[in-house]
Amino acid sequence: MYPHYYKKPKPETIKKWIGINKDKFSVEIFELERIINGGTADDFTKSMYNAITSGRKITPKMHHHIKKIIENNSVSGVEKKKLWLDRNLPKLDKLEEMIRFCEGGRIDVGFGYKLNVMLSMKESAKKWGGLTKKQLVYMNKLHEHYKPWYDKKIKKNEKNTWLYQIFFVYYGMIKGDNMKNLVINAFGDLVERTDYGNHKNQLNLFDNLNEVVEENITADDILDFLFNRKKGVK
């Protein structure tokens, strides 16, 4: 919809500019048609093509974007885009993972702004095969902010998982169960074994764990082993 002050050009004026654009931007029109016919054109590319062929006056800024579209869709441009994405897209995926992991459920309650900006820039990078200088600076700031936080949370989770496993072992020994009844499931969790006919899934916390896995072992024995305590020291 045009603004109220817009005055639609006369048909003869439109026809004149169509001819001017056809003569002045013949190469650009040919390349844009190639891109569109190839099925790789987005809405912006199509809008630039429509602007040239419908008789709109092409400004220097519009011409710059048209040349950028053609460059990005050339053989060398496509290869350059692929190389950049192969090298940098995994880094952007990792940054997204760090933000989601650190923010957790806070993303859904007003703390998702940084993630949304990052995802928008990621889509832009996938579209254009690169990021602007300002976008790169912002991505680096996000990485500097979340990397220490992410490493700390990962370390804490690993510690909690290990303590959980120790507790499970300790609890099982208190019950008088044999440790051979504990297995690690497909998700990496320590669970009580239900398939007693298959011994290949037996738990092995350490290479020499079998040294302390015996029928009549006590809870204190396993704690002595896990914490490297001397016998009888509490």
What is the tens place of the pLDDT at every residue in 159-173?
666 666 666 665 555
pLDDT at 172: 59
Whole-number Cα distances in Å, 144 to 18, 99, 104, 124: 51, 11, 18, 21
Of the given ranges (46-60, 68-82, 164-178), which has the lowest mean pLDDT? 164-178
- Model confidence at 105, in pLDDT bands (50, 70, 90)? confident
Please tell me the pTM assigned to this model. Answer: 0.54
Q: What's the mean per-residue pLDDT of the chain?
A: 77
Whose CA is closest to 205, among 174, 187, 179, 224? 179
- Model confidence at 210, in pLDDT bands (50, 70, 90)? very low
pLDDT at 88: 94
Q: How far apart are CA 82 and CA 7, in angstroms?
A: 44
Of the given ranges (77-81, 111-115, 201-205), which has the lowest mean pLDDT? 201-205
Cα dihedral 39/44/48/51 (nearest 10) = 110
Whose CA is closest to 213, among 162, 169, 171, 174? 169
pLDDT at 100: 92
C-beta of residue 62 within 8 angstroms of C-beta of residue 51 = yes
The residue among 201 and 90 whose pLDDT is bigger is 90
pLDDT higher than threshold 50 for residue 10 = yes
Whose CA is closest to 139, among 81, 80, 96, 84? 96
The residue among 63 and 168 whose pLDDT is bigger is 63
Whose CA is closest to 9, among 20, 62, 26? 20
Determine the average pLDDT of the residues in 179-199: 55
The residue among 230 and 104 whose pLDDT is bigger is 104
C-beta of residue 21 within 8 angstroms of C-beta of residue 55 = yes
Q: How far apart are CA 71 and CA 74, in angstroms?
A: 5
Q: How far apart are CA 146 and CA 115, in angstroms?
A: 11
- Model confidence at 42, in pLDDT bands (50, 70, 90)? confident
- Model confidence at 214, in pLDDT bands (50, 70, 90)? very low
Task: Return the structure tokens found at 202.
Answer: 């037996």
pLDDT at 138: 94
- Model confidence at 197, in pLDDT bands (50, 70, 90)? very low
The residue among 79 and 196 whose pLDDT is bigger is 79
Which of 49-53, 164-168, 205-209 has maximum average pLDDT? 49-53
Q: How far apart are CA 147 and CA 142, in angstroms?
A: 8
Whose CA is closest to 42, among 17, 19, 3, 73? 73
Cβ within 8 Å of residue 18, ≥6 positions away:
53, 54, 55
